[in-house]
Structures are given as structure tokens and as C-alpha cells.
């Protein structure tokens, strides 16, 4: 087998060592109670942490983004992880400083500490990696002296160039954790598969990500065809000159203040790849739950809430023929029962397909769980944006950092 381009946990003996462990347990938070409502990501880290049972493990993670209601302390994350592990996880409510240093220096083998949300510190988000800037942050200067090894296992955040992810690559070996390894192997299998047709199904509301990867997906032949649903489909329809109605346009404008640029990108993609992009032929409208054909008049107050029956039929027959399927994003407002049919039927079609399958994205996984399909959807990734960015074959900051680090510390 080829040598991994980055270090893995097989390359070092961590017994008795102090280990920096960057994970991604960024989770949905109930906006009223502030509680973590889904612990899927936590569960994926049990393997990496259990393998380090004779080390001193310090966990670093982030939660939410400044200004959002899910931007909360990691105190409850530490408690929850401890319960899942059946071990104590001591929470220290800062990321750097003397309390952190003392706690870490006093650790014994088998101890686990979790530090505070790394995004509480502006150096985490604001300082981009230009070769020296991250290295000079207080975060890196404070933490680098405390560890023997740096394990980076935050697969869902590999597309982020942030200090606790990429800032330590010049200090000591940076090692991919077990989640990272599993994810990359599974995604590479999809990318390297020679079985065609390869199909991507993209929906949901994250239009920027979906549009950004469409070019690379189709140009590089990573997939042969793409089906769009959800808001992603709406912006492509808008770009092609179709009336999608006032409320749907306003929704897109609110989603992304650079929507005009996105519209231009969609236009160019449609002109280059019109025969490989599939958009809904009909919709279910909210309110009223009536159906219209794409292009028919949408009233000012109406939302395109789900794909219609013809679209379900066409998309399902494309899915039936596919040999490899990548699924990311619901077809409509699946959270509301009356508008969940499109998503349900498309996800059912994927689940019944014998193709090799890979799925990701918070809403997608939530819908899969709700529909009771989690055992038949193929490989379920912990990544959303991370997954589609990795699949697009474009440079990925955390992967690049790990590869650079192995070259630096391990020779060629």
C-alpha cells in the first residue's frame, strides 16, 4: 500500500505523551435552552480518544460562529463527551493562559482535558495562514510548548484556514486522527471509482458551496451529472431567466449578499453544462400546497417549498441509472410534513439504489435519520462543506497543512 501523504496515528507511539487533539464537535444547539441537540459528531471521536488512553489528551474544538445563537461554551460538550467515554473530561474555561498551562502540566496518563471554544478568540478566525502569521499568534506561542504531538482530527473543518487547525504545522509532527483517515479513504474510493454514471444530488440552502463546486465537479468529471433541488435549484432557475417569484428571490438575496455574482456564475455554468445539470420541472407551493410547472407565475407571497411529482419521477429515474451517488442537501422544506414528499422520495430512491453512495451535510443527515434510512444510505460523512470541498478536488487548507508537515518532519 502507498504511504499516506500525511502522518497517521500508526506512525507514532503516544503512550505517556502530551497530545493536542483538535476535533470538530460543532453541533446543532437548541436556541432556547442552549443545549446540544445532536451528538453524532461526538460519537465519531470515541475511537481516536480511546486509542490515546495512555496519553495526556487535551481536546481543542470550536462551536458556532460569533454572533450566532449556537456560539456557546464547550462546557457541556466536555460533560457529554465524558459520559460517552465513561471517563472524566475536565473542562478548562479558556484556551490559553496560566490556568491552561497549569492544568496541562499537572496531567497524568489517561487524563483528558477540554479547552474553551477556540472561536472565542479572534486569532482563531481572523489570522490567515501566510506562512508566519498563525505561527506568531498567542494561541500557537502558548500551546506549542505544551505538547509532544498535534493530532488534527477535525474532518468537518478541513476547509477552514484557522489557527488551531493549521497553525502548528511548523512546530512538531501534525498527525491525522482516525476520523480523518476513515473519511478520506471513503471519499477517495468514491472519487477514484470508474463506475459511471456518477451523480451528485445537491439541495438545501447553502447556495454558495453548491455553486462553487459545480464547475470543478463537471469540468474534472468528478461526477457526470448533477441534480439540484432546494434553494440551489431556485438560483439556477433564476439565472436561466425563469420567474421564481418575489419571496424566493428575496430569500436568495438574504442568504448571500453577493447573490448577483452567484447568478452570473450560475449562468455561465448553465451555458457550459446545460445537458449535465438537472433542475426541477415542477414545484409544490407554500401556502396552499398547490402544484405549478416551472416557469408558471409564482405569486409574490408564495414559496417554492418542495419539488413536484414530475420532478420526483424524472430525478428518480436518473438516480436508478447511477452507479455512484453523492447526496448533499434536501429538496425542499422537509421539516414541514406537507412539503417533505420530494425529499422523502428522492432520499428513498437513493436508499434503494445499489450504487455506491456517499452522503453528508447536517440537514441531509437529520432528514435521513427522520426518514429512518440511515442503514441504507452508504457512507455517511461527518462533513458538509468539508465534504463537498474535498470532493471538488480543489486545495484544502487542513489537508495541505498535514501533507506539508509530513514533508517537513518526515522527509519527502
The residues binding ligand 3PG (CB under 6 A) are: 24, 26, 65, 156-157, 160, 384-385
User: Which of residues 103 and 154 has its CB atom nearest to Mg ion in the complex?
Assistant: 154
* Minimal distance, residue 402 CB to ligand 3PG, in Å: 17
Which of Mg ion, ligand 3PG, none lies near 229, with the C-beta cut-off 5 to 8 A by kind?
Answer: none
Nearer of residues 21 and 319 to ligand 3PG, judged by Cβ: 21
In the three-class reduction of DSSP (H, G, I as helix; E, B as strand; rest coil), residue 117 is classed as coil
Nearest distance from C-beta of residue 65 to ligand 3PG, angstroms: 5
Shortest gap between Cβ of 162 and ligand 3PG (angstroms)?
Answer: 8
Report the alpha-carbon distance of residue 378 to residue 376 in Å, rounded: 6
The item of ligand 3PG, Mg ion, none sharing an interface with residue 24, based on CB under 5 to 8 Å by kind, is ligand 3PG
**Distance, CA of 110 to CA of 156 (rounded, Å):** 26
The residue written with cell numbers 434503494 in the block is 352
Q: Select the span of 29-37, 69-77, 330-338, 384-392 touching Mg ion (CB under 5 A).
A: 384-392
Could you tell me the smallest distance in angstroms from the CB atom of residue 385 to Mg ion?
A: 4
* Runs of H (alpha helix) within 200-278: 207-219, 230-239, 246-255, 259-273
Question: If 0-12 CB within 10 Å is exposed, 13-18 middle and 19+ buried, where does residue 24 land?
Answer: buried
Among all residues, whose Cβ is closest to ligand 3PG? 26
- Spatial distance between the Cα atoms of 301 and 190, rounded to a whole number of angstroms: 42
Do you find a cis peptide bond into 287, omega within 30 degrees of 0? yes
385 binds Mg ion (CB under 5 A): yes
| Closer by beta carbon to Mg ion, 330 or else 385 | 385
Grid cell, residue 375, equals 442503514
Q: Which does 156 bind (CB under 5 to 8 A by kind): ligand 3PG, Mg ion, none?
A: ligand 3PG
Place of cell 470550536: 62
Residue 116 partner contact from Mg ion, ligand 3PG, none using kind-dependent CB cut-offs of 5 to 8 Å: none
CA 151 – CA 5 distance, rounded (Å): 15
All residues at 6 or more sequence positions from 70 whose CB lies less than 8 Å from its CB, including other chains: 27, 28, 29, 31, 63, 64
The answer to whether 360 contacts Mg ion (rule: CB under 5 A) is no
Q: Binding site for substrate: residue ranges?
A: 24-26, 41, 62-65, 119, 160
Minimum Å gap between C-beta 159 and Mg ion is 8
Q: Nearer to ligand 3PG by C-beta: 140 or 398? A: 398
Instruction: Give min distance, CB of 204 to Mg ion, in A.
Output: 12
Helix and strand numbers (H, E) in the chain are: 17, 16
Neighbours of 376 (CB within 10 A): 14
The set of cell numbers assigned to 140 is 500557537
Nearer to ligand 3PG, 22 or 406 (CB): 22
Of 81-89, 229-237, 367-375, 385-393, the segment contacting Mg ion by CB under 5 A is 385-393
Q: Is 330 one of the binding residues for Mg ion (CB under 5 A)?
A: no
What's the min distance (Å) between Cβ of 386 and ligand 3PG?
7
Binding-site residues, please?
A: 24-26, 41, 62-65, 119, 160, 335, 361-364
CA 291 – CA 234 distance, rounded (Å): 16
Going by C-alpha positions, the residue among 70, 73, 78 that lies closest to residue 42 is 78
Residue 26 site contact among ligand 3PG, Mg ion, none (CB < 5 to 8 Å, cut-off depends on kind): ligand 3PG
Output the known binding site for (2R)-3-phosphoglycerate. Answer: 41, 119, 160
Q: Name the minimum Å distance from CB 23 to ligand 3PG.
A: 10
Which of Mg ion, ligand 3PG, none binds 177 (CB below 5-8 Å, type-dependent)? none
Q: Judged by CB, which is closer to Mg ion: 329, or 385?
A: 385
DSSP states along 155-193: GGGTT---HHHHTTTTTS-EEE-HHHHHHHHHHHHHHH-
Q: Considering beta carbons, is residue 62 or 406 the nearer one to Mg ion? A: 62
Total residues found in the chain within this entry: 412
What does the alpha-carbon distance between residue 360 and residue 159 come to, in Å, rounded to a whole number? 15
Q: Which residues pair with 152 in a beta bridge?
A: 22, 176
Contacts with Mg ion, residue ranges (CB under 5 A): 385
Amino acid at each position: 500500500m502507498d504511504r499516506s501523504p500525511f502522518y497517521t496515528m500508526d506512525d507514532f507511539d503516544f503512550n505517556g505523551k502530551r497530545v493536542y487533539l483538535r476535533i470538530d464537535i460543532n453541533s446543532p444547539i437548541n436556541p432556547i435552552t442552549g443545549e446540544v441537540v445532536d451528538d453524532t459528531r461526538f460519537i465519531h471521536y470515541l475511537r481516536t480518544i480511546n486509542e490515546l488512553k495512555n496519553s495526556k489528551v487535551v481536546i481543542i474544538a470550536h462551536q458556532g460562529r460569533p454572533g450566532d445563537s449556537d456560539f456557546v461554551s464547550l462546557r457541556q460538550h466536555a460533560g457529554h463527551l465524558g459520559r460517552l467515554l465513561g471517563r472524566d473530561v475536565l473542562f478548562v474555561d479558556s484556551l490559553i493562559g496560566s490556568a491552561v498551562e497549569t492544568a496541562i502540566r499537572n496531567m497524568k496518563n489517561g487524563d483528558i482535558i477540554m479547552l474553551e471554544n477556540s472561536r472565542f478568540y479572534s486569532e482563531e478566525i481572523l489570522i490567515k495562514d501566510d506562512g508566519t502569521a498563525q505561527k506568531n499568534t498567542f494561541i500557537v506561542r502558548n500551546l506549542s510548548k505544551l505538547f509532544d504531538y498535534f493530532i488534527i482530527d477535525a474532518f468537518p473543518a478541513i476547509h477552514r484556514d484557522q489557527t488551531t487547525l493549521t497553525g502548528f504545522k511548523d512546530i512538531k509532527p501534525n498527525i491525522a486522527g482516525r476520523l480523518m483517515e476513515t473519511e478520506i479513504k471513503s471519499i477517495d474510493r468514491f472519487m477514484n471509482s470508474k463506475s459511471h454514471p456518477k451523480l451528485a444530488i445537491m439541495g438545501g440552502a447553502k447556495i454558495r458551496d453548491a455553486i462553487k463546486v459545480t464547475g470543478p465537479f463537471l469540468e474534472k468529471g468528478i461526477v457526470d451529472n448533477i441534480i439540484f433541488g432546494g434553494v440551489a435549484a431556485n438560483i439556477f432557475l433564476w439565472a436561466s431567466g425563469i420567474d421564481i417569484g418575489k419571496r424566493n428571490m428575496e430569500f436568495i438575496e438574504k442568504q448571500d449578499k453577493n447573490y448577483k455574482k452567484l447568478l452570473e456564475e450560475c449562468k455561465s455554468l448553465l451555458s457550459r453544462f446545460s445537458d449535465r445539470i438537472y433542475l426541477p420541472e415542477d414545484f409544490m407551493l407554500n401556502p396552499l400546497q398547490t402544484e405549478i410547472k416551472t416557469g408558471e407565475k409564482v405569486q409574490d407571497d408564495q414559496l417554492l417549498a418542495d419539488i413536484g411529482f414530475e420532478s420526483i419521477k424524472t430525478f428518480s429515474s436518473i438516480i436508478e441509472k447511477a452507479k455512484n451517488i453523492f447526496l448533499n442537501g434536501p429538496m425542499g422544506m422537509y421539516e414541514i410534513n406537507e412539503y417533505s414528499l420530494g425529499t422523502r422520495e428522492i432520499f428513498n430512491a437513493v436508499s434503494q439504489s445499489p450504487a455506491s453512495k456517499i452522503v453528508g451535510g447536517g440537514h441531509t443527515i437529520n432528514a435521513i435519520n427522520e426518514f429512518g434510512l440511515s442503514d441504507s444510505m452508504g457512507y455517511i460523512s461527518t462533513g458538509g462543506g468539508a465534504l463537498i470541498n474535498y470532493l471538488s478536488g480543489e486545495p484544502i487548507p487542513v489537508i495541505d497543512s498535514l501533507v506539508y508537515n509530513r514533508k517537513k518532519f518526515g522527509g519527502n
